[in-house]
Amino acid sequence: MNALAATSRNFRQAARLLGLDSKLEKSLLIPFREIKVECTIPKDDGTLASFIGFRVQHDNARGPMKGGIRYHPEVRIVV
């Protein structure tokens, strides 16, 4: 089981125990928006390097969104 599946399972169990409304549970579990960008830049040796970045936003109810930043060459969006 991957980290997303384990976290989702734990969240659903906690939501059930807390008696969360299904609409609230869904809004917390499913992202509002997922943004993927790809940036290609020239390196010092003249070759090109491509980098992929992701931004996942969950809730904008309290205004502009701010999230954590993760840097790793193996970061992927898991669905």
Q: What is the DSSP letter of 46?
A: S
* Residue span of the structural domain in which 49 resides: 31-79
3-18 and 22-29 are packed helices; what angle lies between their axes, rounded to 10 degrees? 160
Looking at the chain, the whole-number percentage of residues with pLDDT higher than 90 is 35
The reply to whether 24 and 44 lie within a common domain is: no
Span 9-34, mean pLDDT? 91
pTM greater than the 0.75 cutoff: no
Q: Considering its fold, how many domains does the chain have in total?
A: 2
Q: Is 80 exceeded by the pLDDT of residue 79?
A: no
* pLDDT recorded at residue 69: 67
The reply to whether 63 and 36 lie within a common domain is: yes
Q: What are phi and psi of 35, to 5 degrees?
A: -120, 130
